[in-house]
Amino acid sequence: MKRRRFIGAAALATTALLLGTLAACQSGDAAKPKQSFMNIGEFSVNPKDGYTEVRDGAGRKLALIARGAKAPDGFAPSNVVEVPVRRVVAYRAFEVGILAALGVPETLVGVTDPRDKWLRDDVRRGFDEGRIAYVGQSSDVDFERIKAQHPDLVMTWDPSIIPMLDSIGIPVVVTTTPVATCLSTHMRFVEFIAPFFGREAQGKAYFDKVAAALKTIRERTQGLPQPQVMWGDIYEKRVLVEPGNAWVAELIGLAQSNYLFDDVYGTSCIEISTERFIHSGKEAEIYFTYRTPARGATSKAALARLNPLIAQIKPLGPEGRVYAPLAHYSQSSDRLDEILVEISAILHPQAYPGHQLSFFTELPNTDPVKIAKKD
Amino acid sequence: MHAQAIHSSLSTPLSRRALVFALLSLLVALMMILNLRIGSISYPVDQLLGALVNPFKKSDISYIVWNIRLPRTIAAALGGAFLAVSGLLLQVYFRNPIVGPFILGISSGSTVMVSLVMLTSIGLGFSGYAPYLNTLASCLGAYGVTALIVVIAIRVRNGVTLLIAGLMMGYLCGAVTSILTALAEKETIKGFVLWQMGSFSGFKWIEVWIMFVVGGLLLGATYLMSKPLNALLLGEDYAASMGVDIRRFRLLILFLSSSLAGLVTAMAGPVAFIGMAVPHMTRLSLGTSDNRVLLPGACLLGALITSLCDLIARMWLTPVELPLSAITAFFGAPIVIYLLLKRGMK
Amino acid sequence: MSKEAILRSSGLCVGYHQPVLADVNLAFGRGQFIALLGPNGAGKTTLLRTLSRHLKPLAGQIEILGQDLHAMSALDLARAVAVCLTDNAKPPLLSVAEFVALGRYPHTDFMGRLSPHDAEVVSRSLAAVAAGDLAARLVEELSDGERQKVVLARALAQEPKLMLLDEPTAHLDLKHRIEVMGILRNLCRDSGLTVVASLHDIDIAAKVADRVVLVQHGGISDFGLPEAVLTSDKVGQLYGLDRADFDGHLGGIEFHGDGHAGKVFVIAGGGSGATLFRLLSKKGLAIETGVLADGDLDRYVAAALGANCFVRSAAAPAVAGLAIDGALAALGGCDLVVDGGLPGSDAQALRQRSKAHGLPIFRLAGAAAIDEGDAHCCATLGELSAAIDRALPSAAQYARR
């Protein structure tokens, strides 16, 4: 009896939250005229008389004004951003990619990873030229260094830095939301960033490119048999999966595939019970892992050795396939269209003959005899 | 009071409370059965029974029952018993009710070793030890701290001094862990944070056997020490005057308590609260301080509470797993408060 | 009764790192009550802790029943020696019976199971301290006096030959103090138990102990019968008594009067003056008194209070004349006279001289009368005290303070 009540309550909560999130996404999909109010999940862009009002991921309202223009009333000075932004500090590789997509990679002046962690040529060159500075780890940035870069804007996921940056007069925009972003928001994020740089046209063009890729994915995979897919991570005693409301799960659904953890709700990769992992894993044909090969995802055998209890899931056996992201995957948000296509190609190889993997690698059955220590 | 009346009130305390123990044992058995019956995947009872009765017939459900549910159930019960006894030993030794099994830095030692393995590239070098790398590291950390504690206890006479030394070691290990966390790559932190919250998930049979055998021996040794433990209720000075070899006894108590706590932490990570709260629950519900009664009582109650918390942690938002330490605190704190109020009102 | 000492120490030096007491040589016999006396910090507790083997001696030897203390096993020692400490242990949820039963530790098996004989001993121990009715109560709920008795009972349950007690009566009221002391004395006498207790009540120690040990100045300054050892000088020196005196005959302490409020002559003798002396001394009056016989109680009380006594010694009658002369002369310097009512020629002479000087005379109604109407006659001591206060305003001020 207790169990039914548990399941019932959990199901109710899950459904309610899923519906809520989907509703938030739906509103963004509705066709709207270009110049009017744009809702992008939790973000919004609202052109007004003389300025553009945007709402960031933390619900803060910022005013974007042309350089030298008068700031509108009702905005604190630190919430007013002069656009186009010429110097920006970005916390996430995702935002760095977006800058490239908008065609303004030279505006980047500060990042939260040191040069040797970057695989993007434009960032490495920026370091070499002395334009880009490493401002410290994102959990503990060095405000002095940020200030030394004289940025017009800081893009962050950490609202706790706002008071400090306010006091030195640097505007902040929070680029993450409390709930997981759905696919639509993920794709349209570029349209939220675009007004900051005056690149609305490029933003729209980028979105159209990704949307077009999505359309071709739908067309190519229509009517094809649906593979069973799982996406997560394995530790010595624990297992995690991407929740059903994550954008990858959505994409998998759109690409005519079944994501096996659609019923799991969360904000990001979340721990689930081993028995559920095994139960669904037995049906999965394709497993996307979180780990890069550098962090131990070198072969199916290596993953199986990490947690022998789940070694019998289908993807780790001869009948399934395992894919690990390559190191630059997380730094390639300007190639989202290519990433979406590659995921689709992995799901339906027969629809993409001759496709070469560039963002993922398929794990071999066993480790090669000579194991490279690092990549 | 008549001598005979005194004799009957003092003799064979276990037999007098036999009914309570029988009830507790029954509850523990029921809880374990419940843990086997309920899981993220629902199986019909007859299939579960069939899998239990016939372990050699291979099937999906047999695998889940024998490799996932049964080891976890047993590990949770054993872990709870060990933590409760560990906490009880320290509470008696320090004569302090707010002491728990990790006060001497055991879990901090485990955490720092596991952080070395999970957050730095050192762990990648030892990947050959998978899937026991975390367990081994945690074990090393816990028993390393245990050894240090015993060495300090030999030199130090005062209980409070030992307590402070243990606390300082805990802080030191915590500091190193913080530094490692700050310097770690972001992808590695998630797994480490999960470990820190403790879980009985993922137990292999070898680990269950080790817990059973080693822990069983430790529990047995502890029970044989009930007599000097009772003497210690009056403090070290009185205990020494009654015939307890205080120097040897002190080391033995610390070793047993730290070993029990270290065993659980090595395999399940730091599980909070059980070691501190269950001795109180046992004392208040059995109404005595006699360790010959409290020790078995704490075992049973610890097993019961921990099994229940494990069930809640994995079933409340199933299939999502909640952190075990949060559930134990949520569950245990109100119970202790309630019991204390009930006693205060008498 | 065996002559073998229960405890013997030779050349014992005790302390933590520095010596607190040196060259302690003691021998305690069976059935003796030994009181350790000395000021705070003298080393009584250190000595007791060394004798109970809680502290290692810095030098010297201790023997319990002929065996070297440090060669004995913990259990053997526990069967011989039991302790009662100042530690106020309050273990929760433990009944008195269980608490006392813990004392059977050295006699029970490895799991601490109690045999009927053990229960018998527990019962007897509780009865010996008159706490039989407390057996079912919880230790944490007892009053201080009850708990002290129960602590004693626990030590008794060990069936020791020697019991070491550290300030067993420290927090007890008079009733319980007397009770505990009485119990201990009976145990010494009836069961042959040797008790060593550090005490602060020198009066009680004097009356109960068979031997006293004076602990001061880094060693044992004296050891022997209280009647011999506890003299006024020795006690005064032990505690550094300045404004008080211990009287060996009386077995008690008397405080010196201030003497600034005036001078009073008390016609005393035969015990008639003892209570009056104390009353007047508290008023701050300096006291002259006579003529007292040598062994008179009044003489000791007066001396302890610092009064000036004129004493007639039976052994030297030639000096007797000097005593009465001196007393009569001293009358001149006094402000008032209090008459104890003693008959006799000396007393009469003093009364007449007082009248001659015009000094006010006070006496109690019941005292032997003289037919002088001048004496202020008071029915009770209270009236007497008030009358004196009125007569001497400075005295009254003093008394009211």
Q: What is the mean pLDDT of residues A247-268?
A: 90
User: Which pLDDT tens digit goes with each residue over C222-242?
Assistant: 899 988 888 878 888 888 887
Sheet holding A38-40, edge to edge: A38-40, A43-47, A52-55, A61-66, A80-83
User: Which pLDDT tens digit goes with each residue over C91-110?
Assistant: 888 999 999 999 999 999 98
B193 in contact with C, Cβ within 8 Å:
no
What is residue A26's predicted lDDT score, i.e. its pLDDT? 44
- Range from A32-46, A125-139, A352-366, C87-101 carrying the lowest mean pLDDT: A32-46
Helix, strand, coil percent content, chain A, rounded in steps of 5: 45, 15, 40
If one compares C57 and C241, the residue with the highest pLDDT of the two is C57
Short-list C322, C320, C272, C280, CA closest to C296: C272
Of residues A233, A236, A273, nearest to B321 (C-beta): A273
Q: Which of B127, B271, B320 to mutate to test the interface with A (most CBs of A within 10 A)?
A: B320
Amino acid letter at A335? Answer: R
Q: Which of B242, B247, B290, B294 to mutate to test the interface with C (most CBs of C within 10 A)?
A: B242
Q: Which range is most confident: B337-341, C160-164, C213-217, C232-236? A: C160-164
Amino acid letter at B76? Answer: A
Query: Distance between CA atoms of C222 and B53, rounded to whole angstroms?
Result: 83
Residue C41 has pLDDT above 90, yes or no: no
C-beta atoms of A137 and B134 within 8 A: no
pLDDT band at A11 (very low <50, low <70, confident <90, very high): low
Sketch the domain layout of chain A as residue ranges. Answer: 2-65+79-197, 224-362
Residues of B whose CB is below 8 A from C102: 230-231, 233-234, 242
Is A224-362 in the same CATH topology as A2-65+79-197? yes
User: Which residue shows structure tokens 């944490």?
Assistant: C140
What is residue C170's predicted lDDT score, i.e. its pLDDT? 81
Of residues C78, C118, C122, nearest to B242 (C-beta): C78
Average pLDDT along chain C: 85
Residue of A nearest to B267 (CA): A237
What is residue B144's predicted lDDT score, i.e. its pLDDT? 93
Alpha-carbon separation of residue A133 from A83, A108, C15, C28 (angstroms): 22, 9, 67, 86
Residue C396 has pLDDT above 70, yes or no: no
Residue of A nearest to B131 (CA): A306
Average pLDDT along chain A: 86
pLDDT band at A20 (very low <50, low <70, confident <90, very high): very low
| Chains sharing 3 or more CB pairs under 8 A with chain C | B
DSSP assignment letter at C115: P
C-beta atoms of B288 and C93 within 8 A: yes
Query: Distance between CA atoms of B310 and B77, rounded to whole angstroms?
Result: 9
Interface of A with B in 261-300 (CB under 8 A): 263-266, 269-276, 278-279, 282, 290-292, 295-296
Query: Distance between CA atoms of A91 and B222, rounded to whole angstroms?
Result: 54
- For C230, the token pair is 């506890």
What are the DSSP calls for C313-344, one per residue?
A: -TT-HHHHHHHHHHHHHHHTT-SEEEE----S
Q: What is the mean pLDDT of residues A21-33?
A: 42
Of residues B60, B135, B317, nearest to A10 (C-beta): B317
Q: State the nearest Cα–Cα gap between B290 and chain C, in angstroms.
A: 8
What is residue A33's predicted lDDT score, i.e. its pLDDT? 37
If one compares A20 and A130, the residue with the highest pLDDT of the two is A130
Left if phi > 0, otherwise alpha if psi is -120 to 50, otherwise beta: which for B31?
alpha
If one compares C89 and C34, the residue with the highest pLDDT of the two is C34
- For A53, the token pair is 């009002």
Sheet holding C7-15, edge to edge: C19-28, C7-15, C59-64, C67-68
**Fold of the A2-65+79-197 domain:** Rossmann fold (3.40.50)
A302 in contact with B, Cβ within 8 Å:
yes
Short-list C47, C69, C80, CA closest to C163: C80
C-beta atoms of B230 and C112 within 8 A: yes
What is residue C274's predicted lDDT score, i.e. its pLDDT? 81
B45 in contact with A, Cβ within 8 Å:
no
If one compares A280 and C202, the residue with the highest pLDDT of the two is A280
pLDDT band at A7 (very low <50, low <70, confident <90, very high): low
CB C238 within 8 A of CB C216: yes
Please count the residues of chain A: 375
Query: Distance between CA atoms of C46 and C54, rounded to whole angstroms?
Result: 9
Contacts of C111 (CB under 8 A, 6+ apart): B224, B226, B227, B292
Q: State the nearest Cα–Cα gap between B148 and chain C, in angstroms.
A: 26
If one compares C360 and C75, the residue with the highest pLDDT of the two is C75
pTM here is 0.84
Phi, psi of A213 (to 5 degrees): -60, -45
User: Which pLDDT tens digit goes with each residue over C105-159?
Assistant: 999 998 888 899 999 999 999 998 888 899 889 998 998 888 989 999 999 999 9
Note whether B touches A: 3 CB pairs or more under 8 A. yes
pLDDT band at A1 (very low <50, low <70, confident <90, very high): very low
B191 in contact with A, Cβ within 8 Å:
yes
What are the DSSP calls for B239-250, one per residue?
A: HHHHT--HHHHH
What is residue C367's predicted lDDT score, i.e. its pLDDT? 58
Query: Distance between CA atoms of B327 and B317, rounded to whole angstroms?
Result: 12
Contacts of C373 (CB under 8 A, 6+ apart): none
Contacts of A169 (CB under 8 A, 6+ apart): A77, A78
Query: C285-293 and A270-272 as β-strands: parallel, antiparallel, unpaired?
Result: unpaired
Query: Distance between CA atoms of A279 and A273, rounded to whole angstroms?
Result: 10
Helix, strand, coil percent content, chain C, rounded in steps of 5: 40, 25, 35
Residue A34 has pLDDT above 60, yes or no: no
Residues of A whose CB is below 8 A from B320: 264-266, 270-272
What is chain C's alpha carbon radius of gyration, rounded to the nearest angstrom? 27
- Strands of chain A (E only): list them: 38-40, 43-47, 52-55, 61-66, 80-83, 88-90, 108-111, 133-134, 153-156, 172-174, 228-234, 239-241, 258-259, 270-272, 286-289, 321-325, 360-362
- For A273, the token pair is 């019970």
Residue C394 has pLDDT above 90, yes or no: no
- For C213, the token pair is 């040990």
Q: Above pLDDT 90, what percent of chain A?
A: 61
Question: Along the 346 residues of chain B, how does pLDDT read in single tens digits?
Answer: 577 777 777 766 666 688 889 999 999 999 999 999 999 888 888 888 888 888 888 888 899 999 999 999 999 999 999 999 999 999 999 888 888 899 999 999 999 999 999 888 887 777 777 778 889 999 999 999 999 988 988 888 777 888 899 999 999 999 999 999 888 887 888 889 999 999 999 999 999 999 999 999 999 999 999 999 999 999 889 999 999 998 899 999 999 999 999 999 999 999 989 999 999 889 988 888 999 999 999 999 999 999 999 999 999 998 999 999 999 988 778 887 887 787 776 5
What are the DSSP calls for A304-316, one per residue?
A: HHH-GGGTTSGGG
Which residue pairs, CB below 8 angstroms and at least 24 apart, start in C235-238?
Answer: C235/C202, C238/C37, C238/C38, C238/C39, C238/C214
Q: What is the mean pLDDT of residues C272-299?
A: 83
Residues of B whose CB is below 8 A from A305: 130-131
How buried is residue A47: exposed, middle or buried, by Cβ count under 10 Å (0-12/13-18/19+)? middle
Continuous H helices in C262-372: 274-282, 297-304, 317-331, 345-357
**Fold of the A224-362 domain:** Rossmann fold (3.40.50)
* Degrees, nearest 5: CA angle B8-C81-C30: 110
C-beta atoms of A306 and B204 within 8 A: no
Query: Distance between CA atoms of C36 and B21, rounded to whole angstroms?
Result: 50
What is residue A170's predicted lDDT score, i.e. its pLDDT? 92
Alpha-carbon separation of residue C117 from B290, C110, C131, C190 (angstroms): 20, 16, 19, 20
pLDDT band at C320 (very low <50, low <70, confident <90, very high): low
What is residue C375's predicted lDDT score, i.e. its pLDDT? 66
What is residue B82's predicted lDDT score, i.e. its pLDDT? 97
Residue of C nearest to B242 (CA): C78
Short-list C249, C227, C250, C231, CA closest to C241: C231
Residue of A nearest to B135 (CA): A236
- Bridge partners, residue A47, by sequence: A52
What is residue C371's predicted lDDT score, i.e. its pLDDT? 52
